[in-house]
Amino acid sequence: MHGATYAEARCALENGETSCEALVSSFLDRIEKKNPELNAFLRVDAEASLDRARTLDEERAHGNYRELTGMVVGVKDVICRKDHLLTCGSRMLSEFKSLYTATAIERLEQAGAIMIGATNCDEFAMGSSNELSHFGPVANPHDPSRVPGGSSGGSAAAVASGLCHTALGTDTGGSIRQPAAFCGVVGLKPTYGRVSRYGLVAYASSFDCIGPFANGIKDAFRVLRVISGADPRDATSANAEPPKDSDPDGSSLSGLRVGLPQEFLDEGLDENIRGAVTQTANTLQSMGAEVIDVSLPMTEYGIAAYYVLVTAEASSNLARYDGVRYGFRAEAASLREMYEASRSGGFGAEVKRRIMLGTYVLSAGYYESYYERAQRVRRLIWNDFDQAFSKVDVLLTPTTPTTAFKLGEKMDDPLQMYLSDVYTVTANLAGIPAISIPTRTDKAGLPVGIQLLAPAFEEGRLLRVGGAIENATSD
């Protein structure tokens, strides 16, 4: 059952064809065989996950099923689990154990899910390739010489290679959707505030979102419904109704208005991906949807505004890692030298680059020129989406400008690496939900993903339209 979706595994459980223990054992066997090449999992909780599976099987023997009984889940290593290592892919936290459990994990476990282990990621979730982990890069399951995308590349690779049913990732500027596109799986970034951030190690607090990877739309939305909802421990969490479970199998999309933003179809777009967007638009039209050209004129400023704002927030959030309270500590003659040596030795080059950029844009004399101006641009991008959604129900765009690139190809060119997120960052700037869905492969056999965006708290639209696309492309 390791290659099945959770929806299929659930049917097998209810029909008595398998057990939770058998599912976990199958995944553990596959991890043992596949993970040495992929490096998707940093740690695997074999005994604990088997014990958990046996407990759930005892419940099933008495006819008790929870919403996610037997779902096997990987967890990006920036999300807390009490008494488990929480490294954030960094030397800084390589020996740190979490003191509490994230709300999203608590809700998954209450629903019957099984956490099988911690997945690899770019250090402190800062990266677009998953080459920046202190514990080594992750390989793309479709071609191990290529990147899986970042920063949640371990979670995407784990789902794509059948090492778990679903996995949690985080998305600050595309870190769920970009690896989902590169690895050929579904990746969902919820509305900001839809899912509690309690227990998520902060990178950029006004951007960070927890969301699922899955091999199908239905599995992703099963996870989203469970982890959604207000949390008194997170003041930014929203008291919103869970996403509605509309039927994603219906072939008719009559009355649906789909916007095609022209700014997302520029000259830098790979022709295979352009073709996938065009084909998807034609498919939606054949189902009764109306495809309308729209404009998001502030899109060209998205990358610049994003990297000013997230580095500013990162500079503030990562100030806590000083070698005094927890994390890596270097020996030095004075307190100041200890701070410098601990942070220099504990952080990798990209994290230090972003801290320095963020400190610069917040510094006296530059705050108004950079940070304040970027906040104004953020509002204008928000306005663009508001205007577009007054005309259409969802937006259809590429997820990435290219398919997965070679390991090491962009490591010496940070700007080109940052531009990998050009089609994803604006959703985070505006706080709206977005999903990446696999549609085809290119001539090299690499997955191509397309992106759907909807107004805030309208994830149900993504389920309906994404399900229709999924069904059409799987026929």
CB of 185 within 8 A of CB of 438?
yes
Task: Name 305's Cβ contacts closer than 8 Å, sequence gap at least 6.
Answer: 374, 377, 378, 381, 429
Cα 32 to Cα 417: distance, rounded to the nearest angstrom: 31
**35-59 burial: b if 16+ Cβ within 10 Å, else e:** beebbbbbbbbbeebbebbeebbee
Tokens of 165: 């049913």
**Residue 167 in contact with residue 119, Cβ under 8 Å?**
yes
The catalytic residues are 76, 151, 175
CA 299 to chain centre: 21
Sign of CA dihedral 372, 203, 207, 156: positive
Pairing relationship of beta strands 447-453 and 434-441 according to DSSP bridges: antiparallel
Closest CA relative to residue 127, chosen from 414, 409, 426, 402: 414
Of 343, 370, 363, 351, nearest to 414 by C-alpha is 351
**Cα–Cα distance between 140 and 144 in angstroms, integer?**
5
Rounded to 5 degrees, φ, ψ at 146 are -120, 160
**How many beta carbons lie within 10 A of that of residue 232, not counting itself?**
9
Supply the Cα-derived Rg of the chain in whole angstroms: 21
| Long-range Cβ pairs for the range 253-256 (8 Å, 24+) | 253/284, 253/287, 253/288, 253/289, 253/464, 253/465, 253/468, 254/287, 254/288, 254/289, 255/288, 256/284, 256/288, 256/289, 256/290, 256/393, 256/394, 256/464, 256/465
